[in-house]
Amino acid sequence: MKNPNSQDNPWMIALYIGGAGGMLAAYIVIGFFAGRWLMGVLDGPKYWLAIGTLTGLFLGILNISLLIKKFLGAQRE
């Protein structure tokens, strides 16, 4: 008999994928605003926006990869 809390539900998989995309977008936007804030506070050059945005992108990708690893680990059980 199947476990009712199983991750086989296609709606649950779609929710994970949609949440991962939203989370990546949030990391990028937060990185952009953090770079803009640092640029204003420290009177830095404009490329700090790019550094903040790319940092947000890389942190978002790292977080999504950890989410996928956790999701695939739950699939095996």
* Predicted pLDDT of residue 1: 41
Long-range contacts made by residues 53-60, C-beta under 8 angstroms, separation at least 24?
Answer: 53/28, 55/31, 56/27, 56/28, 56/29, 56/30, 56/31, 56/32, 57/24, 57/27, 57/28, 57/31, 59/27, 59/31, 60/23, 60/24, 60/25, 60/26, 60/27, 60/28
* Predicted pLDDT of residue 58: 95
Query: Mean pLDDT, consecutive 10-residue segments, the chain of 77 residues?
Result: 58 79 91 90 86 93 86 65
* Predicted pLDDT of residue 19: 83
* Predicted pLDDT of residue 14: 78
* Predicted pLDDT of residue 42: 87
